[in-house]
Amino acid sequence: MQLKASFRNDYSEGAHPRLLQALVQASAEQNAGYGLDRHSARAAGLIVARCGQPQAQVHFLVGGTQTNLLAISAFLRPHEAVIAVESGHVATHETGAIEATGHKVLVTPHVDGKLTPDGVRTLLAANTSEHMVKPRLVYVSNTTELGTIYSKAELQALRALCDAHGLLFFLDGARIGSALTAAGNDLTLADIAALTHAFYIGGTKNGALLGEALVVVDPALQADLRYLIKQRGAMLAKGMVVGAQFEALFEDDLFFELGAHANAMAQRLQAGLKAAGTALLIESPSNQVFPVLTHAQIDGLVQVTAFERWGPYSETHAVIRFVTSWATRPEAVDALLTAIKNLVR
């Protein structure tokens, strides 16, 4: 039986009703263009207040790849490179966007999806002269591509290493709503702002119709950013479309409520899979779940719901990925578990 719900990603639905209502109200007004409207200004102020960094700038952009491309190309000189784990989004799922700007992505093995100081040191030791690219920016994402989260101590260690070697520290927050509300998380938005030179807050994967908020904490990185945003085709004439949504997300705790709901649904799913005896690639505290199933079970599951085939596991098994969202309903999770239990039997 075909399930009504998809578990392919966390942006299949449009937007939370409160954000749609905010858009309806903003659409009935005349707003200034190019992100200079009152909704974008208020949203930026709300985010800066949450971050506790009054000098920070906030720029509203459309999507994650665009934000990574814009920020990294703006922050680096032509001969400088990015450090990331081999599974990092900029290294695997952005169609060479960073390399297309002229900046190489240097990769190192991950530990449960995370970048470690030793991994950074290895790349620094391997790139030591003007005959090679110069490592300059350390890239991490929270959550990682495996759904794991960074601890405060882990980010502190990476920032200390960056400071010691003159590196910039940039955090991809496409799923930061999930990360900051996951079980075991000890970070706040203010912590992330204090530990990075720049980061972004993902709206697309946490209840928004579209949009990310690039937060540039370090004043040295802020110069001429609006010129570069315009040049890269990233400056929306109707900037209020993103600004009004972030205003609704941050005028109270809605942003965090939506992330917490997605996590709760994923943990319901993960617990049910474990109870059914299904192996997991990794124990994820966030809204991504990675079961290991036989090829026959996966082929059967394709008939009832949507998901991502993540990768091979053995000759007989493979890893798939389920993702829950702000809109995932408990009954949809339970129906999926019933389908999986039937296939396992």
Residues 6+ apart with CB under 8 A from 213: 43, 44, 47, 58, 59, 60, 61, 200, 201, 203, 242, 246
Tokens standing for 165?
């070697």
pLDDT for position 4: 66
State the span(s) of the chain assigned CATH 3.40.640.10.
17-251
CATH number of 17-251: 3.40.640.10
pLDDT for position 317: 97
Alpha-helical runs (H) found in 52-149: 64-75, 89-92, 97-100, 117-126
pTM: 0.97
pLDDT for position 224: 97
Could you say which DSSP state residue 177 is in?
H
**CATH class (in words) of the domain with range 255-344:** alpha beta
Find how far residue 301's CA is from the centre of its chain: 27
pLDDT for position 79: 98
- For the chain, which ranges sit under pLDDT 70? 1-4
pLDDT in tens, 251-274: 999 999 999 999 999 999 999 999
pLDDT for position 322: 98
pLDDT for position 344: 82
pLDDT for position 134: 98
pLDDT for position 3: 67
pLDDT for position 119: 98
Rounded distance between C-alpha atoms, residue 112 and residue 182, angstroms? 16
